[in-house]
């Protein structure tokens, strides 16, 4: 139940390059049964750690606290839940902010280009180490959904089902443009110093602006109209409040607050690597087309969940993913949820997501 | 038909502050009839000049070349077309890049906060100078639609009709967030120097990033999927092409090209002022509500045109504007166009826009 670290001994081969003995951080909840077949593997979005939910060892609430636990939709009295911190991230797994054991120096931009497949490959080492030969399900939301797909394509025998939430079979140009611009904003911050920033003074301005753009893409116009309308900010916070173009609307104040909370909590180079990995992902790389790729799947059940107000992973992509899975997998169900919180709905609109997830895991 | 300059003599009072003898640049096409009642006043979006269309004096194509001219939808054999460069802009009208005649220095951030109403007020001086007491129509797209609305609310007797294209009765928080972030990106560029940038080396990085964000908000995901899919860039251009996070997709190359064309063509501070003016605009300021404001209108015809793929001025806002106008104006028509080019459709999807505009002006 506590935080664990698995070291992959020797040379770990990535799509482009290698790492020496990288480490994968993970957390678990519940108990593995005697058949070792009740495990649920969860992959995260770009920014969370492996801390999905609180436990006796770590009582801080997790990023999906409502979803995982005793009596919750992914019921830890029944399932053994494993969540990995993605390779390339900065919450215990090896990433560009880690020390390269071969040189004794922090990788920074010497870290190889990261792919979604690399994250799946590093994660399977944890499953192997836990001596799990058959997973009840592989689950992922957003970037995590891409990793879950890659995992099921790379290791078709390992998982019996797949749950993809607000994710995609490949990155499309609108999302690529948004993420590319976030990365460029960071790279244009002079304190980024081509990745060699002082760890005590990371590129806060670039990260803050990139996070604001992220928030714009994670939520929806209709949510903000309902929530903020044209309300003026009572108090403005941070540097953006000064000067003739200072923040004046509540929505600006909200973004300022969200961005300030993020800056400092996530390593900048790690963010760049993970962001780019999403752009590069295309399941068609596993075959000439998505359909050909999916023909190698061995899962027997799949659920695709999307939200109609999501502009980053739009509902059409969820429908396409569901249709493509339907051609290869016996039992595929698709849920289009009417949440107004856009891409972030799976983190906040729990009343809509809980029953759908509970239904899948209640067999 | 050539470019004209009208100087507003004396003190010009703005919502907040005053200007000494500001100038408004404008262009005209066609001839004013003897009754002086065949004029069509056109307001522009944030970035264009008053050069809507080519003329014998200036043969360079204008930003709405397909729409204005002899035999075109706004037929200059019938109408006298006037287009003003907005107050606060940098194409001949007084803005923050102009010299303050009182001090002999460039205004920069001493220019008063700009409002959409100020632009309308400066523009009416041109109409008065032309001795026009009754305009056939007032037309505006995007920010221009906001100015057109303000103009008809401030001078109800002046215009007989209104055409609003992909515009809004007020700025909503999603659009405010996007524009606010563009402004913050620019202000965070160290070369902006709190508005005191060297005119030879303006904040190119900030302007470029802001323009890319602009383009993301001006077009649509579906257009880019159709146009670029996951095509890789053959050649990358500019500084963003270097390093491990260099541009690799065609959509990134497209944005790079678009942004590079914009940088240097628009003054940075002027951009900040005009962008903020849009956020501040709310027709409810003319009354307790939009409906109360519109009750002062005297136009007899109005057309509202919107595009269903527009994320910056979404189609719901067009419908609301049309409904609100319908309560105050006899003849209101609404067109929802199926263009895929998002907010920019009125500039590029001429096959869809031409007949709708032609129909309005063909009475």
Runs of H (alpha helix) within B228-334: 250-262, 268-280, 290-294, 315-326
Task: Tell me, yes or no, if A226 comes closer than 8 A to chain B by beta carbon.
Answer: no
Same domain, B194 and B161: no
Same domain, A301 and A162: yes
The predicted structure's pLDDT at residue B239: 46
Per residue in A283-293, pLDDT tens?
Answer: 999 999 999 99
B164 sits in which H/E element: strand B161-165
Assign residue A84 the CATH number of its domain: 3.40.50.1820
Same domain, A122 and A249: no
Look at B170 and A314 and tell me if their CB atoms are within 8 Å.
Answer: no
Give me the mean pLDDT over the A4-10 stretch: 97
Look at A311 and B311 and tell me if their CB atoms are within 8 Å.
Answer: yes
Are residues A332 and A325 in contact, defined by beta-carbon separation less than 8 angstroms? yes
Left if phi > 0, otherwise alpha if psi is -120 to 50, otherwise beta: which for A14? beta
Sequence-distant (6+) residues with CB within 8 A of B16 are B112, B113, B115
A17 pLDDT exceeds 70?
yes
Identify the weakest region by mean pLDDT among A130-134, A236-240, B156-160: A236-240
Same domain, A124 and A16: yes
Residue numbers of B between 178 and 217 with CB closer than 8 Å to A: 178, 180-181, 183-185, 187-190, 194-195, 205, 209, 212-213, 215-216
**Separation in Å, CA of A225 to nearest CA in chain B:** 6
Task: Name the phi and psi angles at B56, rounded to 5.
Answer: -65, -30
Which of B113, B195, B251 lies nearest to residue A176, judging by beta carbons?
A: B251
Same domain, A191 and A247: yes
Query: Looking at A242, A271, A300, which one is the last position of a domain?
Result: A271
Identify the weakest region by mean pLDDT among A54-68, A98-112, B168-182, B232-246: B232-246
Give me the mean pLDDT over the A113-120 stretch: 98
Look at B181 and A282 and tell me if their CB atoms are within 8 Å.
Answer: no
Instruction: Give CA–CA dist B305/B324, Å, rounded.
Output: 14
B189 annotated active-site: no
- Distance of alpha carbon A313 from the chain centroid: 13
Token duo for residue A291: 């359909």
Residue A205: CB atoms within 10 A of its CB come to 24
Per residue in A186-205, pLDDT tens?
Answer: 999 999 999 999 989 999 99
Residue A234: CB atoms within 10 A of its CB come to 7
Angle at CA B198, nearest 5°, toward B195 and B204?
Answer: 80
Name chain B contacts of A177, Cβ cutoff 8 Å.
212, 215-216, 224, 251-252, 255
Please provide the DSSP assignment of A28-73 as one string.
EES---TTS--EEEEE--SS--S--S--SS--S--TTTTTEETTSS
Examine residue B329 and state whether it is found in any structural domain, yes or no.
Answer: yes
Examine residue B231 and state whether it is found in any structural domain, yes or no.
Answer: yes
Instruction: Give CA–CA dist B195/B108, Å, rounded.
Output: 6
Domain of residue B312, residue span: 3-170+281-361
Runs of H (alpha helix) within B69-155: 116-129, 143-154
Query: Looking at B229, B246, B271, which one is the last position of a domain?
Result: B271
Look at A250 and B173 and tell me if their CB atoms are within 8 Å.
Answer: yes
Listed residue (A171, A147, A128) closest to A85, CA to CA: A147
Residue B167 DSSP class: -
Same domain, B209 and B160: no
A198 annotated active-site: no
Name chain A contacts of B170, Cβ cutoff 8 Å.
230
Same domain, A27 and A165: yes
Which of A188, A213, A221 lies nearest to residue B174, judging by beta carbons?
A: A221
Examine residue B276 and state whether it is found in any structural domain, yes or no.
Answer: no
Instruction: Give CA–CA dist A150/A124, Å, rounded.
Output: 11
Which residue spans within chain A are E strands per DSSP? 3-7, 11-13, 18-20, 23-29, 39-43, 68-69, 74-75, 80-84, 99-100, 105-106, 135-141, 161-165, 301-307, 331-337
The predicted structure's pLDDT at residue B246: 86
Residue numbers of A between 23 and 42 with CB closer than 8 Å to B: none
**Given A142, A159, A217, A322, the catalytic residue:** A142
B358 sits in which H/E element: helix B350-361
**Number of cross-chain residue pairs from A and B with Cβ atoms under 8 Å apart:** 142
Assign residue A211 the CATH number of its domain: 1.10.1740.110
Number of domains forming the structure of chain A? 2
Examine residue B154 and state whether it is found in any structural domain, yes or no.
Answer: yes
Instruction: Tell me the CA distances in angstroms from B101 to B21, B48, B125, B199, B259, one per residue in order.
Output: 8, 25, 19, 19, 33
For residue A249, name the pLDDT band (cuts at 50, 70, 90): very high
Query: Looking at B271, B302, B336, which one is the last position of a domain?
Result: B271
Task: Tell me, yes or no, if B290 comes closer than 8 A to chain A by beta carbon.
Answer: no
Examine residue A276 and state whether it is found in any structural domain, yes or no.
Answer: no
Q: What is the largest CA-CA distance in chain A?
A: 66
Residue numbers of B between 248 and 287 with CB closer than 8 Å to A: 248-252, 255, 272, 276, 279, 282
Same domain, B285 and B255: no
For residue A239, name the pLDDT band (cuts at 50, 70, 90): very low
The predicted structure's pLDDT at residue A348: 97
Examine residue B188 and state whether it is found in any structural domain, yes or no.
Answer: yes
Same domain, B210 and B65: no
Claim: this prediction has a pTM higher than 0.90: yes
Are residues A331 and A299 in contact, defined by beta-carbon separation less than 8 angstroms? no
Residue with tokens 């401030």: B154
The predicted structure's pLDDT at residue B236: 52
Nearest CA in chain B to A170: B230
Instruction: Give CA–CA dist B185/B173, Å, rounded.
Output: 18
Token duo for residue B265: 């063509």
A257 annotated active-site: no
Instruction: Give CA–CA dist B275/B182, Å, rounded.
Output: 9
**Given A49, A343, A344, A349, the catalytic residue:** A343
A25 pLDDT exceeds 60?
yes
Token duo for residue B3: 């470019």
Instruction: Give CA–CA dist A9/A122, Å, rounded.
Output: 11
Name chain B contacts of A213, Cβ cutoff 8 Å.
181, 213
For chain A, the average pLDDT equals 96
Look at B224 and A183 and tell me if their CB atoms are within 8 Å.
Answer: no
**Given B189, B267, B310, B344, the catalytic residue:** B310
Examine residue A220 and state whether it is found in any structural domain, yes or no.
Answer: yes
Same domain, A232 and A292: no
Examine residue A30 and state whether it is found in any structural domain, yes or no.
Answer: yes
Listed residue (A96, A97, A128, A114) closest to A7, CA to CA: A128
Token duo for residue B163: 């055409």
Task: Tell me, yes or no, if B221 comes closer than 8 A to chain A by beta carbon.
Answer: yes
Per residue in A334-355, pLDDT tens?
Answer: 999 999 999 999 999 999 999 9
Same domain, A296 and A245: no
For each of chain B's 363 residues, which pLDDT tens digit applies? 578 999 999 999 999 999 999 999 999 999 999 999 999 999 999 999 999 999 999 999 999 999 999 999 999 999 999 999 999 999 999 999 999 999 999 999 999 999 999 999 999 999 999 999 999 999 999 999 999 999 999 999 999 999 999 999 999 999 999 999 999 999 999 999 999 999 899 999 999 999 999 999 999 999 999 999 999 987 555 444 556 898 899 999 999 999 999 998 999 999 999 999 999 999 999 999 999 999 999 999 999 999 999 999 999 999 999 999 999 999 999 999 999 999 999 999 999 999 999 999 997
B213 sits in which H/E element: helix B204-218
Are residues A79 and A73 in contact, defined by beta-carbon separation less than 8 angstroms? no
Residue A153: CB atoms within 10 A of its CB come to 18
**Given B123, B137, B275, B343, the catalytic residue:** B343
Instruction: Give CA–CA dist A264/A207, Å, rounded.
Output: 9
DSSP-assigned beta bridge partners for residue B4: B26
Instruction: Give CA–CA dist A150/A296, Å, rounded.
Output: 11
Please provide the DSSP assignment of B16-70 as one string.
SSEEES-EEEEEEES---TTS--EEEEE--SS--S--S--SS--S--TTTTTEET
Same domain, A108 and A188: no
């Amino acid at each position: 139940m506590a935080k664990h670290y698995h070291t992959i001994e020797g040379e770990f081969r990535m799509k482009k390059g290698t790492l020496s003995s990288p480490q994968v951080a993970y957390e678990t909840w519940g108990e593995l049964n005697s058949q070792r077949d009740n495990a649920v593997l969860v992959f995260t979005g770009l920014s969370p750690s492996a801390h999905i939910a609180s436990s006796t060892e770590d009582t801080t609430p997790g990023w999906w606290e409502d979803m995982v636990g005793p009596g919750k939709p992914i019921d830890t009295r029944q399932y053994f839940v494993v969540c990995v911190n993605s390779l390339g991230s900065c919450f215990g797994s090896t990433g560009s902010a880690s020390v390269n054991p071969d040189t004794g120096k922090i990788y920074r931009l010497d870290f190889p280009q990261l792919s979604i497949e690399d994250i799946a490959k590093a994660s399977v080492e944890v499953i192997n180490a836990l001596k799990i030969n058959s997973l009840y399900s592989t689950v992922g939301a957003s970037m995590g959904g891409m990793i879950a797909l890659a995992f099921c394509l790379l290791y078709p025998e390992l998982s019996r089902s797949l749950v993809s939430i607000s994710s995609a079979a490949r990155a499309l140009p609108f999302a690529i443009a948004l993420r590319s611009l976030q990365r460029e904003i960071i790279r244009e911050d002079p304190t980024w110093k081509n990745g060699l920033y002082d760890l005590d003074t990371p590129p806060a301005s670039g990260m803050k602006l990139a996070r604001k753009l992220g928030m714009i893409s994670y939520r929806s116009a209709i949510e903000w109209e309902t929530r903020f309308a044209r309300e003026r900010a009572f108090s403005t916070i941070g540097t953006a409040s000064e000067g003739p173009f200072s923040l004046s609307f509540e929505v600006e104040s909200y973004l300022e607050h969200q961005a300030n909370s993020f800056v400092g909590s996530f390593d900048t180079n790690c963010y760049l690597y993970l962001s780019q990995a999403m752009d590069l992902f295309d399941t068609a790389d596993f075959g000439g087309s998505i359909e050909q790729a999916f023909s190698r799947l061995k899962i027997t059940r799949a659920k695709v969940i999307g939200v109609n107000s999501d502009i980053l992973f739009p509902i059409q992509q969820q429908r396409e993913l569901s249709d493509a899975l339907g051609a290869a997998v016996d039992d595929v169900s698709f849920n289009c949820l009417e949440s107004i919180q856009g891409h972030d709905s799976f983190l906040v609109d729990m009343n809509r997501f809980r029953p759908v997830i509970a239904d899948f895991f209640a067999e």
